[in-house]
Structure 1
Amino acid sequence: MSEARDTVGYSVGDGVVRIGICNPPVNALVRDVRAALIAAFDRAADEEGAVAIVLYGEGAAFASGAELSETDGTTDAPTMAELCARVEASRLPVVAALHGTVLGAGVELALAAHYRVADAETRIGFPEVKLGLMPSAGATQRLPRLAGAGAALEMMLTGQLWSIDDAPAEALADLVVEEDALAGAAQFVEALLEDGGAVRPTSGVRSGFSDPMAYQQAVTQRREALASAPELAPREIVAAVEAAILLPFEAGLAFEADAAQTCRDSEQSRALRAAFVAEHRARRLGLPEDAPLPDLSRIAVLGGGPLAIQLVFAALVRGIAVQWGTRDPAALREGVPRLRDVFDEFVRRGALSEDDALDRLADLRIGDSAAMTGGVEMIVHAARGQGDVPAPEGIPRVSALPGKVRQVGLRFAPPIHAARLIEVIVGPAAMPEQIVAARALAKALDKIPVRVNSRGESIASRLLAACQRAADALVDLGQHPYEIDRSFRDWGWHRPPFLASDQRGLPDLATRPRAEGARNWCEVMVGHDRAGRTGGAGFYLWEGTPPVPSEDPELTALLDAERPAAKPLSHEQIRRLIFGAMANEGARMLASGMVARPSDIDVVATLALDLPRWRGGPMHLVGVYGLLSVRRAMDGLDHPDAAFWAPEPVFGELIKNGRSFEALNR
């Protein structure tokens, strides 16, 4: 007989109860599914003649975690921990049939089963750590019992996906089959019943504890490696895995639950969860989430020079065939060997094998620009003078060049092959198919696109300019550049304002205007023959190969001769003011329509300016500090650049309604 009960299927045949999770697209274990699964297990316990249970997932995968929104408050009963406890307590042996990508709570559910059968393509992972969270349904206690501390920590601390039939995940499966996990589970049950049909709660397994010394050594090594890391969740995971061998199982579960709640309530996790949602939202580029995207298997890159080389390399290493065209044959004669040098460097570093590099280069065609535009799905302009190159009708064209944008421009965060950000500049004459193509390219390159409505300005450039202008203002008021930078480094930002200015080069920054009575301190440095990193001295001294920054004792005397000393601000005051200024610039971008939502600004801040993801971007941070507190700090700053520091009206509107910038995300 068979019966569908909401999102869980239930059937019995030959004494075997089959319980199927059916909550497409990924079988998320949300509250209703958890409740239905418990009801199905209760029903199976009373099923006359039942001898075993097979738990499986319909569709593309066995199961995945619950919705992220459940981490924002109290989880509705039954919790995942309660579901896993119910599964493990079954009087009938439970065999989980795994397939597809099994994530988070889905793996925890599989661990609660007594046995696991998986097809060879199954991959498992614990992504919680990337959100500042940790497993909370027993994985820190059950997984080490099966796999030991080393393998368990490797899986839970990296957040990566692991093949079920390879280390470190191989200990999870009792049987790996080539194709149909459900059929494999049926055969496994048959053999199990012939052998007596014993239940085997994972809580009672001890194989992972067989070498206590090696277990503790793995814990100690991970703890020492994380000693200087700022993130909370990895340390709590290590502590919970250590508790697994030291405490009785139930006490270990209580330890895990307490640690998981600590992570869930932390500001770090709130920032990481906000970043995850923001990146997912930004990827849409203002298009419907399910908008069809073209398959980008081959693109044309037009133009020579360093930008073109970086783009060609980034596409090739992601498996996208490239037709590289220029109007100047000399540009290709110079560029192709330089491209090969980049591949050689990656092979030398072990990032690519020789065979992989050759395979990627085999996907490259070169020639005259006009000859390279046929047979591609998209054209990217990487140098001037390519705009009038003829191309087949209907092929979208975008520009990766800096400067003004009429249609669609791409601003890649450097280095292009590794950085995750593309700002998609949507100009006044942009066509929908160009935006769709930009989204498809970002997906193919595994990058996060952020839409910017402008004629060429990017979010990153506006934020960076606001940061430098605010930092300059604090120097005007007597603060020391080193103390400003130290306030951010100690907080976790390793590219603080003045160090970043030196790295970028001071002459370009020196031309940026300031209000009357305010100073551009890059201009001051350049006036003293200090050009930044490439010149050996800027705000810092730069020595060695490659150049390494160190504080310059002479800088203090130089500053004291240029402006009066003043009472130093606390590090907290410095951060509040500079992040307030950046958020204020973000508010201006929102008001002008340049940006659709505050979270897009934060995505750019973390990916392009390297603000620590576990802290969040400026729009998130002013909410953490409190908008009223930030507005008062900016209002109270006695500085000539009054217009820059004046809080935008949206601050007052949000404060009046007791909200933060998160309320404007959509």
Structure 2
Amino acid sequence: MSDPAVVAEQVEHVVQDGIAWLSVANPPVNALSRSTRVALIDALDRAEADPGVRIVVLQGRGHTFPAGADIAEFDAPLEAPWIPELCARVEGFPKPVVASLHGTVLGGGLELALAAHYRIALASTRVGLPEVRLGLIPGAGGTQRVPRMLGAGPALDLMLSGAMMPVDVAPGRALVDALADGDLRAATETYCRTLLDEGKGPRRSSDIRKGFADAATYQKAVAERRAMVAQRPEIAPREIVAAVEAAWLLPFEAGLAFEEDAFATCLKSDQSRALRGAFFAERRAHRFGFPKGTAIPALDRIAVLGGGPLAAQLVITALNAGLGVNWGTRDPDAIRAGVMHVRDVFREGVAKGLPEAQAEERMALLKVGDSARMTEGADMILHAARGQGDVPAPEGVVRAVVFSGRVQELGLRFAPPVYGTRLVEVIAGPQSTAAQHATALSLARALGKIAIKVRSEGDSLAGHLMAACQRAADALVDAGQTPYRIDQAFRDWGWSRPPFQARDMAGFNETAGQSRAEGARNWSVVLADAGRSGRAAGRGFYLWPGDGQAPREEPAVLAVLDGLRRPAPPMPLDAIRLLVLGAMANEGARMLASGMASRPSDIDIAAVLALDMPRWRGGPMHLASVPGLLAVQRALQRFDHPDRAFWTPEPVFADLIKNGRTFDSLNV
């Protein structure tokens, strides 16, 4: 039962001169939670029964019209009234219903708006159906109503991309009946008066046929998008195409039933669970556990100290985010070369469509000079190269070490390349403070990145995970498997950077320095001794022909391996994945036990954003629950390898199994 007081607060019901204004107030995004849905249906019932109400307006208070469902509800049985029922109530309402749109109208919010009889929107409104990013399809009529209005091509592009669409230009303009440039409420009232004066009654969007006008174009768009998604491993895109085709082939009610079944199929899939988990993990990551009253400072200008590729990437990323940058080095030649590189990057951007004026604005945010002078006026200092630690800086300005190495206070570890990835690990060293962490979080937000807090003296979660992955892969080679069989197991699974190919791409410097237990081998050392050091040298575990050609397996590598260990029959691919991913989850458990990681979902974020594990699969902590923790525990215990300390399951496995829980249940 919903609390009546809460319901009343979430939907304001005001009747003025025959117009019932139903205003959703469920901040921050006016999500269509169950209590909000109950309140809306109650308000509609009242408006229908009120003879003084001639027309109904649906609107959102605050920043936006309702922006979709409450995603947390997807992890439990869906409670009535679900959004499709609300949309059916709106579309079948006996009095005209107008949706008054502003902000970002997404998912179920857009489906609600499309179920209304008429739509007016601020010209700045953007709409979208981003369900595919959660492994779902629109489930409240979106796959049936949007094609009726836009046709198959634009409808499929909207749903398959998950991107937002403006409503003031085509094709989005066809989703709304009128635009407002100023006072939306006044414009909506005028629009309602016009509808009433013209005697306009309810108009069901399910009766619209404009998008079906050209049958050949519709069918061609479906066929093209079906071919496009056929090779993708995700379920939802294929179901979206099928549902949009059903909109053309089936009566509306039958199309809704088709959509409902497809939505249910996606909702219960492992893919959607992983994608929903990733969504919540990113929202959860910013919870740094600050003491009450900790301020998150605003950053307008940062100093980047040091030359080289890392510094240049940081500079480009900050400039693209609109931050001012003071770039300092003690080497004038290095800074000149760096500035030339940055200019070249922006020239390439202009060639690809970046407005030249925008590129010039970004370059104008850059100042360069000697390191000591560049700290002046900076809100934060990033040490991007060694040899800059003694540079004086204004008192109170937070410094962060961005390159790898020991960290006593604050460090930042950006997933490479800095300008192309979304992860930054905030290294909370033993002497770091809450104020430093808050400044780091502010920088991450300014750069549009996901920040996760890591308690260490310099190590990153991504680094530990990759080291565990490589250690497990080496152990499987010890046991007689080939690097190519191991990589195949993950390439077929959807990981574009399987262990040994990733090792070649990075070079062997890091993996060759990793220790192995007595009786185990570090196969990077073995190949390096054989004159093979990775892609840069043209040969590592693979032969790298260059010129964009794919790497090739090398019989010579197998000869080297077989000279030092006994080959074994090929292990099933799923058994390989279970062992490697299980070893990574076990390493995650060690990081949780030590306090290095705050929660399992942070570890999964690092795996997806830094190691490029498939988002629709999830990270190793989430994946441990797919076969079940007991299966993972037994696989680790049964693997016969001398590195027992590495393969022995952490105690948390037994604790979770005993209590019927998973690592996901530890996320807070």
TM-score scaled to structure 2, two decimals?
0.97
Report whether the alignment pairs 1:34 with 2:51.
Answer: no
Tell me what 1:383 maps to.
385
Please say if residues 155 and 168 of structure 1, whose CA atoms lie closer than 8 Å, have aligned partners that are also in contact: no
Tell me what 2:308 maps to.
305
Tell me: CA distance 1:290–1:105, structure 2 relative to 1, closer, same or farther (3 Å).
Answer: farther
Mapping of 1:103-502 within 5 angstroms? Answer: 103-287=106-290, 292-350=295-353, 352-502=354-504
User: Per-residue CA shift, 1:283-308, capped at 9, x if unaligned?
Assistant: 23333799642222211112222211
Moved more, 330-339 or 110-119: 330-339
**Following the alignment from structure 1 to structure 2, what is the Cα–Cα distance between the partners of residues 508 and 73?**
44
Please say if residues 295 and 435 of structure 2, whose CA atoms lie closer than 8 Å, have aligned partners that are also in contact: no
Tell me what 2:529 maps to.
527
Tell me what 2:570 maps to.
568
Cα deviation, residue 553, structure 1 = 2.7
**Following the alignment from structure 1 to structure 2, what is the Cα–Cα distance between the partners of residues 290 and 45?**
48
SS at the partner of 1:414? coil
Cα deviation, residue 548, structure 1 = 3.2
Structure 2 residue identity aligned to 1:576? L
Tell me what 1:636 maps to.
638
Please say if residues 155 and 169 of structure 1, whose CA atoms lie closer than 8 Å, have aligned partners that are also in contact: no
Tell me what 2:3 maps to.
none
Match of 1:50 among 30, 49, 53: 53
Structure 2 residue identity aligned to 1:438? A
Please say if residues 152 and 168 of structure 1, whose CA atoms lie closer than 8 Å, have aligned partners that are also in contact: no
Unaligned runs of 5+ in 1: none
Cα deviation, residue 546, structure 1 = 4.0
SS at the partner of 1:410? strand
SS at the partner of 2:284? helix
SS at the partner of 2:571? coil
Structure 2 residue identity aligned to 1:161? M
Please say if residues 4 and 10 of structure 1, whose CA atoms lie closer than 8 Å, have aligned partners that are also in contact: no
**Following the alignment from structure 1 to structure 2, what is the Cα–Cα distance between the partners of residues 130 and 570?**
31
SS at the partner of 2:65? coil
Aligned residues: 663
Moved more, 562-571 or 327-336: 327-336
Structure 2 residue identity aligned to 1:544? G
Cα deviation, residue 87, structure 1 = 0.4
User: Per-residue CA shift, 1:111-154, capped at 9, x if unaligned?
Assistant: 00000000111111222111111111111111111111111111
Please say if residues 286 and 451 of structure 1, whose CA atoms lie closer than 8 Å, have aligned partners that are also in contact: no
Please say if residues 325 and 372 of structure 1, whose CA atoms lie closer than 8 Å, have aligned partners that are also in contact: yes
User: Per-residue CA shift, 1:492-522, capped at 9, x if unaligned?
Assistant: 1111111011111124422322111111111
Cα deviation, residue 393, structure 1 = 2.1
**Following the alignment from structure 2 to structure 1, what is the Cα–Cα distance between the partners of residues 462 and 519?**
26
**Following the alignment from structure 2 to structure 1, what is the Cα–Cα distance between the partners of residues 7 and 194?**
28
Tell me what 1:97 maps to.
100
Tell me: CA distance 1:642–1:383, structure 2 relative to 1, closer, same or farther (3 Å).
Answer: same
**Following the alignment from structure 2 to structure 1, what is the Cα–Cα distance between the partners of residues 348 and 214?**
42
Please say if residues 312 and 342 of structure 2, whose CA atoms lie closer than 8 Å, have aligned partners that are also in contact: yes
Cα deviation, residue 101, structure 1 = 1.4
CA RMSD, aligned part only?
1.6
Tell me: CA distance 1:531–1:547, structure 2 relative to 1, closer, same or farther (3 Å).
Answer: farther
SS at the partner of 2:369? strand
**Following the alignment from structure 2 to structure 1, what is the Cα–Cα distance between the partners of residues 203 and 515?**
72
**Following the alignment from structure 1 to structure 2, what is the Cα–Cα distance between the partners of residues 349 and 26?**
34
SS at the partner of 1:417? helix
**Following the alignment from structure 2 to structure 1, what is the Cα–Cα distance between the partners of residues 131 and 344?**
38
SS at the partner of 2:105? strand
User: Per-residue CA shift, 1:444-476, capped at 9, x if unaligned?
Assistant: 111111111000111111111111111111111
Please say if residues 15 and 50 of structure 1, whose CA atoms lie closer than 8 Å, have aligned partners that are also in contact: yes
Please say if residues 274 and 617 of structure 2, whose CA atoms lie closer than 8 Å, have aligned partners that are also in contact: yes
Tell me what 2:556 maps to.
554
**Following the alignment from structure 2 to structure 1, what is the Cα–Cα distance between the partners of residues 67 and 447?**
25
Cα deviation, residue 372, structure 1 = 1.8
**Following the alignment from structure 1 to structure 2, what is the Cα–Cα distance between the partners of residues 175 and 290?**
46
**Following the alignment from structure 1 to structure 2, what is the Cα–Cα distance between the partners of residues 154 and 176?**
23
User: Per-residue CA shift, 1:537-589, capped at 9, x if unaligned?
Assistant: 11111002246311123333332222112122100110000111111111111
Tell me what 1:588 maps to.
590
Report whether the alignment pairs 1:606 with 2:608.
Answer: yes
**Following the alignment from structure 1 to structure 2, what is the Cα–Cα distance between the partners of residues 286 and 530?**
46
Structure 2 residue identity aligned to 1:417? Y
**Following the alignment from structure 2 to structure 1, what is the Cα–Cα distance between the partners of residues 12 and 68?**
19
Tell me: CA distance 1:587–1:62, structure 2 relative to 1, closer, same or farther (3 Å).
Answer: same
User: Per-residue CA shift, 1:280-338, capped at 9, x if unaligned?
Assistant: 11123333799642222211112222211111111001111111122332322222112
Match of 2:541 among 519, 539, 561: 539
**Following the alignment from structure 1 to structure 2, what is the Cα–Cα distance between the partners of residues 60 and 465?**
45
Tell me: CA distance 1:282–1:5, structure 2 relative to 1, closer, same or farther (3 Å).
Answer: closer
**Following the alignment from structure 2 to structure 1, what is the Cα–Cα distance between the partners of residues 105 and 182?**
16
Please say if residues 506 and 525 of structure 1, whose CA atoms lie closer than 8 Å, have aligned partners that are also in contact: no
**Following the alignment from structure 1 to structure 2, what is the Cα–Cα distance between the partners of residues 245 and 386?**
65
**Following the alignment from structure 2 to structure 1, what is the Cα–Cα distance between the partners of residues 295 and 548?**
46
Unaligned runs of 5+ in 2: 1-5
Percent identity at matched positions?
Answer: 57
User: Per-residue CA shift, 1:79-117, capped at 9, x if unaligned?
Assistant: 100000000001111111101111111101100000000
**Following the alignment from structure 1 to structure 2, what is the Cα–Cα distance between the partners of residues 614 and 158?**
15
